[in-house]
């Protein structure tokens, strides 16, 4: 079940909200835990068992580590052993379901068809962060299995993030103070995310499909195509993250933002501070810093960054293009840290922005094409004018989608938000809020009903 579906918008969500607010506060975690399992099991009932097993493993690990750490300190070594075993089991589960087929093909060993559980990368990282934080004394062990299970399976961010660390919602899991303003803010954020997903990401996806599959589109047509994909993946994932944040607020949770207008960046370094913030934070806190970060000299820093970006690529998918994509950004970031960043800071903003967007867009080509031949072919289409500037067929499609393309580009900047912030300060701001939310719901619903095109790119991660 996806947020941008008719059954979720008009059946599941209203029913769950009604049940939640008529349930006494003491029973709300249990209710959420149950509806989480229903939500996750909607698409793949059998794999709910896997998520419960993962939850149990980390719940028990947290109890063992917490109790050992609370002793006189003599069990610290045992606590570390439990942590290591817990991490190995988590990685093994993730590795089997996500990478066994890839490794088997690479070694020419048949492993059969292994289904990829939706959201396994996200909830595995969440549960690992919990046991690590308990070991570090950054979080208290959770004795209540329902409370911990609610954290792991929380449906707003279960299948596509943001990756929520236990310590960030620890107090909210135990006691939430739901109020009308928080609920109202949640509705607004959810509707912004829904319109980004349905009205912008889906339409940019259609344009990308057209241009990608037109080998004679020409250089301009090919660039328009990959720019459309650049916008699609942003609005698809950012929109879904905002829907998750909005839903969280409706149920009394405050999740951290996951995207901060990444396409306004003036360096690749800045881009990765703004894109998928929860994932970048996870790798920084649980991989990069424990490896030594930048505290042990430049050679070690380069090695640490290589490990992080190789793992970032692997995390996204079991294919060579994802590994190449991770290493591509590793090289760019190392060039910036070595010397380029200081020149970018002095360069005109326009030049720094063009530089960043060029390499970001090129990176999405690597990210999209799992077939190396198609990847090389499309990169060639961007730079070699063998089919001219743009074909007449491609030009017609570009003109047809041009208004939406320009709207999407505008919406990827913070300009609209800054302009609307002046309205939000007014006492009558609830009127445009209500009108825009209702309008967004109507138009998004009409789009979903009239078109069967509603892909979600991050389901496969």
Instruction: Give the catalytic positions in this structure.
Output: 316
Report d(CA 357, CA 111) in Å as an integer: 40
Torsion-angle region of 293 (φ positive above 0: left; ψ -120 to 50: alpha; else: beta): left
Q: Which residues contact 392 (CB under 8 A, 6 or more apart)?
A: none
Length reported for the chain? 461
Closest CA to 299 of 336, 327, 334: 334
Q: Where are the alpha helices (DSSP H) in 71-201?
A: 76-106, 120-136, 145-153, 166-174, 180-195
390-419 in b/e form (b: 16+ CB < 10 A) is: bbeebbebbeebeebbeebeebbeeeeeee
CA 434 to each of CA 95, 179, 430, 440: distance values in angstroms, whole numbers, following the listed order = 46, 18, 6, 10
Report d(CA 114, CA 96) in Å as an integer: 8
145-153 helix and 120-136 helix, angle to the nearest 10 degrees: 130
Contact yes or no for 207/409 (Cβ under 8 A) = no
Burial zone of 329 (CB within 10 Å; 0-12 exposed, 13-18 middle, 19+ buried): buried
Is residue 364 helix, strand or coil?
helix
Report d(CA 208, CA 114) in Å as an integer: 29
- Tell whether omega for the bond before 162 is within 30 degrees of 0, i.e. cis: yes
Report d(CA 96, CA 115) in Å as an integer: 10
DSSP 8-state secondary structure symbol assigned to residue 148? H
**318 φ, ψ to 5°?**
-90, 75
């Amino acid at each position: 079940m996806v947020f941008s579906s008719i059954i979720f918008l008009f059946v599941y969500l209203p029913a769950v909200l009604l049940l939640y607010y008529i349930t006494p506060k003491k029973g709300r975690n249990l209710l959420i835990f149950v509806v989480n399992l229903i939500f996750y099991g909607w698409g793949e009932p059998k794999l709910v068992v896997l998520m419960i097993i993962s939850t149990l493993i980390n719940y028990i690990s947290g109890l063992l580590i917490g109790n050992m750490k609370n002793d006189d300190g003599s069990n610290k070594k045992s606590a570390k052993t439990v942590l290591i075993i817990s991490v190995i089991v988590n990685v093994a589960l993730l590795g089997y379901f996500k990478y066994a087929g890839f490794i088997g093909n690479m070694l020419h060993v048949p492993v059969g068809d292994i289904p990829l559980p939706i959201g396994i990368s996200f909830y595995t990282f969440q549960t690992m962060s919990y046991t690590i934080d308990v070991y570090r004394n950054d979080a208290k062990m959770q004795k209540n299995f329902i409370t911990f299970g609610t954290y792991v399976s929380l449906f707003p961010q279960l299948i596509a993030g943001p990756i929520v660390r236990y310590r960030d919602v620890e107090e909210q899991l135990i006691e939430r103070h739901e109020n009308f303003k928080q609920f109202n803010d949640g509705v607004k954020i959810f509707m912004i995310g829904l319109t980004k997903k349905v009205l912008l990401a889906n339409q940019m996806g259609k344009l990308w499909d057209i241009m990608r599959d037109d080998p004679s589109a020409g250089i301009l047509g090919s660039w328009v195509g990959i720019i459309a994909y650049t916008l699609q993946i942003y609005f698809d994932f950012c929109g879904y993250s905002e829907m998750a944040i909005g839903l969280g607020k409706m149920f009394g949770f405050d999740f951290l933002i996951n995207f901060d207008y990444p396409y306004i960046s003036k360096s690749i370094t800045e881009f990765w501070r703004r894109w998928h913030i929860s994932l970048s934070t996870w790798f920084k806190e649980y991989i990069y810093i424990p490896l030594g970060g930048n505290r042990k000299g430049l050679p070690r820093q380069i090695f640490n960054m290589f490990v992080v970006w190789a793992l970032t690529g692997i995390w996204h998918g079991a294919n060579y293009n994802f590994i190449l994509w991770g290493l591509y950004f590793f090289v760019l970031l190392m060039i910036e840290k070595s010397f380029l960043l200081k020149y970018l800071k002095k360069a005109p903003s326009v030049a720094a922005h063009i530089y960043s967007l060029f390499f970001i867009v090129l990176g999405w080509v690597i990210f999209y094409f799992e077939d190396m031949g198609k990847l090389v072919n499309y990169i060639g289409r961007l730079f070699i004018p063998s089919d001219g500037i743009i074909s007449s067929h491609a030009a017609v499609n570009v003109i047809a989608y041009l208004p939406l393309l320009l709207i999407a580009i505008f919406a990827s900047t913070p300009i609209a938000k800054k302009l609307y912030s002046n309205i939000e300060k007014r006492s009558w701001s609830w009127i445009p809020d209500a009108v825009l939310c209702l309008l967004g719901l109507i138009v998004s619903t009409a789009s979903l009903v009239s078109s069967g095109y509603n892909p979600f790119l991050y389901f496969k991660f």
